[in-house]
Each structure stands twice: as structure tokens, then as C-alpha cells.
Amino acid sequence: MKHYFRFFLTLSAIAFLFTACSKDDDTNTDDDDPQLPLGDYENGIFVLNEGGFGASNASVSFIDDEGNLHDNIYQNVNGTGLGDTAQSMGLDDDKAYVVINGSNTIEVVNRYTFESIATITSQLSNPRYIVFENDKGYVSNWGDPTNPDDDFVAIINLNSNTVEGTISVAEGPEKMVVKDGKLYVAQKGGYNYGNTVSVINLSNQAVSSIDVADVPDGLVIINDYLYVLSSGKAPWTGEETPSALTKIQLSDNTVSEIIPLLDGAHPAHLVAENSTMYTTIDGDIYRIALGSTTPFSLAFSVGDQGVYGIYGFAVNNSKIYVGDAGDFTSNGKVHIYSTSGELQSSYTVGVIPNGFYFN
């Protein structure tokens, strides 16, 4: 009898332990479980290094969350170079798309491991920038820069990594943003000088346009408005025109306001974080609060800190990122500042750092 009782106690103890373990497993959520790392480049900042035109030395650097620099990561992972002149990069789901202007290709990689997935090589001609909407990628293309009539937006099938169609647009399509099924394309002008924003209805590919100031480049959507930074024609063109920040109501694509900029200035870059927009003029960084009726005001200058100029620019998580191309042939620099202008860290990266992408 003692043996049966002891056996019963043993079974009861095992059952209790099994039930307790099962209960713990059932109450754990995915958020409670430790997540396996997705790859070496899961948390940090990609720095896109353009490389010299014709030199085929484009590269990507990565600054992880601990502040460690990992240089030339595409070549280190894949054993080959990116190609000639990296123009931009886009992140979508678990993939990164690196637009290689001089090579007329797009390198598709896993955004966390940077392992190559595919190379898109056909039906691209001077590709510039990429955005995403509903399993499609949209890439602005200059075509032949001497031909004003062959510019287009390529439609990328993200499942097959192929170009499935094109949409003709005005000369020199550059940066793009998408909102509510419409693609807004800054028609900077390529080798010439544009002054419109194309609006493409993605459901039927109908194209219309909005007139803005000369040489539109930066686009930012905030709430129901599109802000367009136009740098204007520079003095060396012989026909200088003023810069402007145009505010467009997206419900009907009408211009609701033109925000004044500094007289005689030709700014570059337009980025926004929270309720503040930023732009740059040479080595100076300017900002404006949304809703302000005053012009941009100087935030701080990097020109007096040994920075040659602001070639790449971004603002993220209350930090300002500056890419300094230096002499455009040697390795460039990345400088990270607080929004008040305090230098926090600097790195030597690849040739001509032109963009920052936050992973």
C-alpha cells in the first residue's frame, strides 16, 4: 500500500510541475519573450556613401546603437562592391533598396543582415529615389539628362524585384512622398531647372502638376499638408530666382501659403521632426516651428567647427546628423549634434556621405 501511495504522490508532483510550466507558457506574450536578433545591423543608422562618379566606390556604413562604426558593410557581407554612385536608399518591411545611379541598378538586401537578395538591372535609367506603397516601389528616373522628354517613374514589383511599368513625368524627377494613394514628385529639373510637383494618382496613373518656385527638392508631409522646399536658381546661373517654402493643402492640391525664406539664400534639404522643420544653407542649420509666421531662424552653424559643408542631413530622435563630403575624393565625415548644436560624436566613413537611414 505504501508503494502505491508513494507512486501516486510522485505522479501528482509531476502533474503539478507540468501544469505550472504550461500555465507560465500560456501567460507569456510575444512581448514578454526575448526576441532573437534579426541580424548584425538590426539597431542603428545606415550611412549611404555616394562614392565618386565613375569610381565604383559606393558603400554603406553602419553606426550601431552603442556608437560603434561598421564600414563598407555591403562588401564585407557579400564580397563585392555596390557599384557606381549610390544615390539613395529606401527601407520597406525587412528589406533595404539601394539606388545606384551610375550603375542604373537597385541592390535589394535584407535590412538586418545586409545579405544580397536581388539586383534590379532592367528598365532603369539614371534612377534617383524610391518610395513604397501597397507592395510596389516607385523610383524616379532622369533618363538621358540631355533629353527633357524621357524622364519617368518606374514601378517596381516588390515580390519579383522587377520593373513592371513606367509613368512619364516632367524633366528631372527627384525626391518623392506618398499619401492617400497619390505620389508627389519634386520635378527639380535634372540638368535644367524645374518648377512643379507632379501628382500621380496611383490607382489609374493619371498625372497632374502643381506650380511651385524654381528647383523644388525637399518634400515633407505633415498632417494634411505637403511642404515643398524650392532652392531657386543660384547666382551663377545668370538668372537667379528666390527660394521658397510652399505649403500645399492635400485635400485639393492647392497652394495655401508661401512661407518666406532668407533673402538671397538658396537652401538645401528639408526634414521635419515633431513640430519643427529644418533646412540648411551652406554650413548653417536653420529651423522653423510649424504654424510660425516668421522666416526660418538660425539654429547653429557647423561651418565654424571645421565642417566643409552639409552634404548629407537628417534629424532623428532629437539629434542632427551631418554628412561632410570634404574634398569629395577622400573618405568623408559624419557628425552628430544635439538640436542645440552640441557636437556629440564624429566618424570617418566612406567617400561622399549623402544620406542617413534609421533601422
The CA–CA distances, whole Å, from 325 to 140, 154, 312, 354 equal 24, 29, 8, 8
Give the pLDDT of residue 170: 98
pLDDT band at 165 (very low <50, low <70, confident <90, very high): very high
Average the pLDDT over 88-113 and give the result: 98
pLDDT band at 36 (very low <50, low <70, confident <90, very high): low
Give the pLDDT of residue 306: 80
Q: Which residues contact 3 (CB under 8 A, 6 or more apart)?
A: none
Give the pLDDT of residue 13: 42
237 residue type, one letter? T
Give the pLDDT of residue 28: 40
324 residue type, one letter? D
Q: What's the DSSP call for residue 271?
A: E
Q: 3-state DSSP call for residue 10?
A: helix
Give the pLDDT of residue 308: 85
Give the pLDDT of residue 87: 98
Pick the range with the lowest mean pLDDT from 145-149, 260-264, 268-272, 321-325: 260-264
Q: What's the DSSP call for residue 54?
A: T
Average the pLDDT over 127-148 and give the result: 96
pLDDT band at 38 (very low <50, low <70, confident <90, very high): confident
**Do 175 and 186 meet the contact criterion of CB atoms below 8 Å apart?**
yes
- What are the φ and ψ backbone dihedral angles of 78, each rounded to 5 degrees? -105, -10
Q: What's the DSSP call for residue 81?
A: -
**Do 58 and 83 meet the contact criterion of CB atoms below 8 Å apart?**
yes
Give the pLDDT of residue 20: 41
Q: What is the DSSP string of 175-196?
A: EEEEETTEEEEEE--TTS---E
Q: Which residues contact 80 (CB under 8 A, 6 or more apart)?
A: none
231 residue type, one letter? S
Average the pLDDT over 97-124 and give the result: 98
- What are the φ and ψ backbone dihedral angles of 229, each rounded to 5 degrees? -90, 120
Q: Is the pLDDT at 339 greater than 90, yes or no? A: yes
HSE-CB for 191 with a 13 A CA cutoff? 9
pLDDT band at 8 (very low <50, low <70, confident <90, very high): very low
Q: Is the pLDDT at 32 greater than 80, yes or no? A: no
The CA–CA distances, whole Å, from 72 to 68, 158, 177, 262, 306 equal 13, 25, 28, 39, 25
Average the pLDDT over 90-110 and give the result: 98
> Which tens digits make up the pLDDT trace of 191-246?
999 999 999 999 999 999 999 999 999 999 999 999 999 999 999 999 999 999 99
Q: What's the DSSP call for residue 36?
A: P
Give the pLDDT of residue 31: 47
Q: Is the pLDDT at 16 greater than 80, yes or no? A: no
HSE-CB for 260 with a 13 A CA cutoff? 8
pLDDT band at 291 (very low <50, low <70, confident <90, very high): confident
Q: Which domains does the chain have, with CATH numbers?
A: 38-73+269-359 (2.40.128), 122-266 (2.130.10.10)
Handedness of CA 162, 209, 147, 176 (dihedral sign): negative
The CA–CA distances, whole Å, from 271 to 220, 221, 280, 287, 353 equal 7, 10, 10, 10, 17
